[in-house]
Amino acid sequence: MTRVASIGECMIELRQAPGGQIGGLYSRSYGGDTLNTAVYLSRLGVHIDYITALGDDALSDEMIAGWAAEGIGTKHVARLAGKLPGLYLIQTDDKGERRFFHWRDSAAARELMDLPDTEDLLNSLATYDLVYLSAITLSILREDGRERLMAALKRARLLGTRFAFDTNFRARGWPDLTIARNVFSSAFETADIVLASTEDLAPLYPGENNTALLAGISSPEVVLKLAEPACIVRSAGGTREVRAEPLPKPVVDTTAAGDSFAAAYLAARLGGAEPEEAARAGHRLAGVVVCYPGAIIPRYAMPPKKTPRPPPSRKASQ
């Protein structure tokens, strides 16, 4: 059985009701980029564990119960006494574009690399076929924690684990752009698959065109999502553009468009699909997700599953 680990942070989500005003109604849920991807991977039939840290509070209990209900493994979720998960609020405009407000400075997930069990957790990464994390995951860790995690990923790759890195960039999560560029460079050098977008990379590398952005990513397999409904895929088979099909409905909310694309792409690749075919799967799922409010769409709205090819045998990365 193919096994995947997703590492990151999940937070309490407050979403403003349509047309809501300050002091109006908000719905409460939870979300986070790597958790959203984990949910969609699980729904696509991938065995996945989520690796994070939460508090010992009732909201953290609720999160774990919700993840388990989605089929996500929680054995590597650390519970920290007296801590709480982070919190974010979403405002969405009439075009479906969202604005986030975060309260996460003391969130439990920030201590994930500083726990008594951290070393055992890092050693467990070598038991997975694929480890997925994002730039947001790295941004919440201190420098020594990032280095510890990257070192563990390099060790795991020597034993056959593949590493997928999502460039989900939020400037407010980094002390300055130089540090962010250095961290991204290290991730690019280590990753087997990079899931990037021009939206993420433009603030980091201003003025660079698509060709230059791709050239700056040393990973052997790269997907660069464009501002228009298309992406560029670069792999051993060459470089080509893959355009998305027309959306089935009007855009309601773009939250988790990238997260769902990543899930469908990785699920397809794990199932034996070529990168171009996997990119089409990513476009299809993301195109459905943006037609519903919130990060996680109803189960009934999920596109029909395609019969996967037999997964490739596990071997050390080149």
Q: Which residues are catalytic?
A: 259
First to last CA, the chain: 22
**The two three-digit tokens of residue 70, written as one number:** 């989605």
∠ CA(126), CA(45), CA(42), 5° rounding? 70
If you ran DSSP here, which 8-state letter would residue 144 be given? Answer: H
**CB neighbour list of residue 211: distance below 8 Å, 6 or more residues apart:** none
Q: Are 36 and 256 in contact (CB under 8 A)?
A: yes
Buried b (16+ CB within 10 A) or exposed e, 224-239: bbbeeeebbbbbeeee
**The two three-digit tokens of residue 87, written as one number:** 């919190």
If you ran DSSP here, which 8-state letter would residue 73 be given? Answer: B
- Listed in sequence order, the DSSP H helices in the chain are 33-43, 58-69, 118-124, 135-139, 143-158, 177-190, 198-201, 210-215, 257-270, 275-289
